[in-house]
Amino acid sequence: MAGTLNFERARFNMVEQQVRPWDVLDSQVLDVLGEIKREDFVPVRHRKLAFADLSIPLEHGEAMMKPVVEGRLLQALALNGDEDVLEIGTGSGFIAACLARLGRQVVSIERHADLAERARARIAAAGIRNCQVRATDAFEWQAPHGFDAIAVTGAVASVPEAFLRWLKPAGRMFVVRGTSPVMEAVLLTRQGPDYIETRSLFETDLPYLKGAEPAPRFVL
């Protein structure tokens, strides 16, 4: 019981002392972060760090975002419960679970089959039924339809054209782009067939999505 109470207190402190002060003020987002058990989505060896202000390493060189970045991502997408949502990079499954609570239907794709399998099990254990996790590479996947919102959880040197094509009219995408260690989190919104509006959100640094790294530079 004491352990459960400690997790509840740590989750409350994460929301109130980390996420909210980082300009995450959307009450639905704060509620979801306060309800979903983040400790159940982190690797067992890092469970005590579930609510720390740091990224948590996963297998294959992947990582969970800091809670503050997760909060800003969820707030930027401004989901109202009617959206078809795509997540590119399932990782632990935590963001997918949050998106599923906020949107109508979520498809999350993960290139590593073992991560996808574990995330699928964690999401099911959380009682979430409106999220599909698919083990596939984003750069080989054929989207069956467009999406109202897209969350890209790994950085890209530049935003792939395929990702933009998956946005429905008025659809929005959260993505971190640029060159490490100073990257820019942006919200991209499709305002027309050939026009994507860009809004800068904040600076951060994330591991690159596999296949979206900067081209190697050769110095003589």
pLDDT in tens, 122-131: 999 999 999 9
Q: Which secondary structure element, helix H or strand E, spans residue 72, and what is its range? A: helix 67-77
Which pLDDT tens digit goes with each residue over 61-107? 999 999 999 999 999 999 999 999 999 999 999 999 999 999 999 99
Written as one letter, the residue type at 107 is V
Report the C-alpha gap between 80 and 185 in whole angstroms: 21
Q: Which CATH number fits domain 2-204: 3.90.1170.50, 1.10.1740.10, 3.40.50.150, 3.40.640.10?
A: 3.40.50.150
Would you kindly state where each structural domain of the chain is located, as residue ranges?
2-204
Which pLDDT tens digit goes with each residue over 43-56? 999 999 999 999 99
Residue 218 has pLDDT above 80, yes or no: no
Report the C-alpha gap between 12 and 215 in whole angstroms: 42
